[in-house]
Amino acid sequence: MIIVLLGYMGSGKSTLGKELASVLNYNFLDLDDFISEKENTTITDLFQSKGEIYFRKKETHYLSEIIDQLDNIVLSLGGGTPCYSNNMNLINSNSNVVSFYLKLSIPLLSKRLFAAKVDRPLISHINSEEDMLEFVGKHLFERSPYYMTAKHTISTDNQSLKQVLENILTYLI
C-alpha cells in the first residue's frame, strides 16, 4: 500500500509521514526530495532554471513513477502537487493508494508558517502575521477543492501527533 499525505505547507505532512512510516514499518518518501534527487538539483533551483511548467511536468512524471513502481511507503506531497495536472486522479484511481488530507485551520497554519517563513521561499517575503493570514486564506481557497478530493480528511487542529496518527491508523485497519 502507498499512503499519500497531502495538505497545505506547514500542515505536518513530513513530520507525521515519518512517524506513520515508522509505526507501519514502511519507507517514508517526500516527493520534493525525490524530485530533487532525480533532477540533481534543489526545487528552488529547478523552478529558477527551468520554470514552473517544467517542474509540474516532472512532478507528475515522478508521482506516477512512484505509484507504479513502489509499495509500502508513506508519501508526502508538496502543497501544490494535488492542484496540477491529473495528480489527484492518478492518486485516487489506484487501488493500492490511500490518500489523506491533513486539514489545519487558516489561523493555525498562518501562525506556524509565519514562525518558519525564512525556510520557505514562497512566503519568505511576507512581513506581518496579518499578511500571512491573508496569503494562506487566499491560497487555501484556491487549493481546497483539490485537497478535498482525498479519500480521507483528517482535521489536525488541537490534535497531538499521536492523536492524528491514531486517526489515520483507524482508517487503515
Name the binding residues for ATP: 10-15, 120, 159
Annotated binding site for Mg(2+): 14
DSSP assignment string, 1-42? -EEEEE-STTSSHHHHHHHHHHHHT-EEEEHHHHHHHHHTS-
Sequence-distant (≥ 6) Cβ neighbours of residue 44 within 8 angstroms: 121
Whether residue 104 contacts residue 12, with contact meaning beta carbons closer than 8 Å, is answered with yes
DSSP assignment string, 150-163? SSEEEE-TT--HHH
Annotated binding site for substrate: 32, 56, 79, 143
CA distances from 17 to 25, 48, 76, 98, 135 (A): 12, 28, 6, 13, 25
Annotated binding site: 10-15, 32, 56, 79, 120, 143, 159
